[in-house]
Structure 1
Amino acid sequence: MVKDFNLGDIVEMKKEHPCGSKEWEVIRLGADIKIKCCICGRIVMLPRNKFEKDAKKVVKYNSQE
């Protein structure tokens, strides 16, 4: 369960996307979290509680703040 994430971070999810990637970029924060697949560019919106439950770890933190 990941609680510490910011806009632009790369997050590893528990399940693989059909394209084979487990890494997603956080592109929108709020009550819903919008993430973009790092390989195919598909965008998915998840409720915050589901995102926090399904995210394993932050692979790369965004350097801009």
Structure 2
Amino acid sequence: MDKTFNLGDVVQMKKQHPCGSYDWEIIRVGADIKIKCKGCNRIVMIPRSKFEKDIKKIL
């Protein structure tokens, strides 16, 4: 999979968020990735290595 991510990209993760959504919007890119859930608008910051492992596809 292509490992380039841009601000505003919507990605689908392998695991479901507790609200039921799989879709997340990227709002910060760097050593850590900040993503916002499209279902409940919760914001989470995770390390890039974990993000790249957990991503399913870019929508």
CA RMSD of aligned residues (A): 1.1
Q: TM-score, normalised by structure 2?
A: 0.94
Is 2:24 the partner of 1:58? no
Q: How many percent identity over aligned positions?
A: 71
Higher RCO, 1 or 2 (CA under 8 Å, sep at least 6)?
1
Counterparts of 1:24 and 1:2 in 2: how far apart (Å)?
17
Q: TM-score, normalised by structure 1?
A: 0.86
Segments of 5+ residues of structure 1 without an aligned counterpart are 60-65
1:1-65 → structure 2 map (5 Å cutoff): 3-59=3-59
SS of the aligned residue for 2:50 comes to helix
What residue number does 1:63 align with? none
CA deviations 1:27-64 (Å, max 9, x no partner) are 000000000000100000000000000001001xxxxx
C-alpha displacement of 1:2: 5.1
Count of residues in correspondence between the two structures: 59
SS of the aligned residue for 1:56 comes to strand
Moved over 4 A (4+): none
